[in-house]
Amino acid sequence: MEIIPAIDLKDGRCVRLYQGDFAQMTVYADDPVAVARVWQAQGATRLHLVDLDGARAGRPQNVDAVLAITQAVQIPVQLGGGLRREEDVEAALALGVERVIIGTAAIAETELVARLLNRFGEQIVIGIDARNGMVATDGWTVTSTVAATMLAAQMAALGARRIIYTDISRDGALSGPNFTALTELIRADGPAIIASGGIATLDHVRRLAQLGVEGAIIGKALYVGAISLPEALAVAQTVTSQP
């Protein structure tokens, strides 16, 4: 299982929100490039970037910061936030981003997603953010009437090979992942699942690895020191390598 540190960008800085609430924001670093280098130095094999301004505006906003990070590190980077048009996806990939995460467009623009999956294959990751089991969009400001499990099935039918699942109520709360919801999403013949939201202890990491998710995105727990990245990597490797 891959451990993926999160770098959330707002106004070019590295921040964290509590349950997606911009009014409950903590700034952890003014220089996200330095943060990216730290995670790489500690053994990260991938970084998860979120353009928070882009998610709210519907168009990428932190382009300069994203480019600076991709140029500063040698590990692959995935990016989400405001990527709702084909040209914006193209531009993100041109910045050196390896994977682009499609969230709001997955529910609002099915034809676009089908086209992107056909054109870019595994470079397109579907982001499913859920509140009480229902998909939330537009930077988590709108809760739809579509169940996360239903959207996952629809995206799998379109050819999606990877889904990032975030339980909004757990995000930034250090209360543990939603193991029940993740279990419902994992299918032997379905897309790989990456867990996000609430991961706060090495036991959470261990349980996720045992559950069979492909990756775990960790944000706040790393920034407040609840988990050390080298320890999380070691736990994930130990569980994954067990017969």
Rounded to whole angstroms, the Cα distance separating 81 from 20 reads 12
> Could you confirm whether 31 is annotated as catalytic?
no
Catalytic residue selected from 51, 53, 129, 167? 129
Rounded to 10 deg, the angle between the 110-120 and 148-158 helix axes is 50
Strand blocks (E) in the chain: 2-10, 13-18, 21-29, 47-51, 77-80, 99-102, 124-131, 134-137, 142-147, 162-167, 192-196, 215-218
> Could you confirm whether 11 is annotated as catalytic?
no
For 189, counting Cβ atoms within 10 Å of its Cβ (0-12 exposed, 13-18 middle, 19+ buried), the class is exposed
Tokens describing residue 167: 């339980």
Rounded to whole angstroms, the Cα distance separating 13 from 225 reads 19
Question: CA 61, 112, 58: angle at the middle one, nearest 5?
Answer: 20
Catalytic residue selected from 8, 53, 88, 171? 8
The catalytic residues are: 8, 129
